[in-house]
Amino acid sequence: MYLEIVTPEAVVFQAEIDAVKVPGIEGEFQMLNNHAPIVSTLTSGTVKINLTTSSTDVTSKLSSDFRQEGKELFYPIKGGVLEMKDNKAIILAD
């Protein structure tokens, strides 16, 4: 699946990934490849991104806000909105 994280300043992440876990208003939830379409509001927390083997080269271009542990990236957000449709997730983050 493809993930894009957009902040008011810039597009901070865009790549193919295996999974993403987000802090929803009702609790954390994870989306995998071919997830059903969804729109959700997000609360303050951390977005956890599981990179595909082919997307590990994107880490050299990331801002210092990202933290990496192996094939996982962590990005803190203050809130936002998520849309998943046609195997593409877009997070509009604060």
Structural domain count, the chain: 1
* CA-based nearest residue to 29, from 94, 89, 92: 89
| Residue 57 confidence (pLDDT) | 73
pLDDT digits 0-9 by tens, 20-33: 999 999 999 999 99
For the chain, the C-alpha Rg in angstroms (whole number) is 12
Q: Tally the C-alpha atoms within 13 A of residue 81's C-alpha that lie toward its C-beta.
A: 3
Which residue would you say has higher pLDDT here, 20 or 60? Answer: 20
pTM over 0.85: yes
Q: Specify the CATH number for the domain of residue 87.
A: 2.60.15.10
- Domain span at residue 15 reads 1-91
First and final C-alpha spacing in the chain = 23
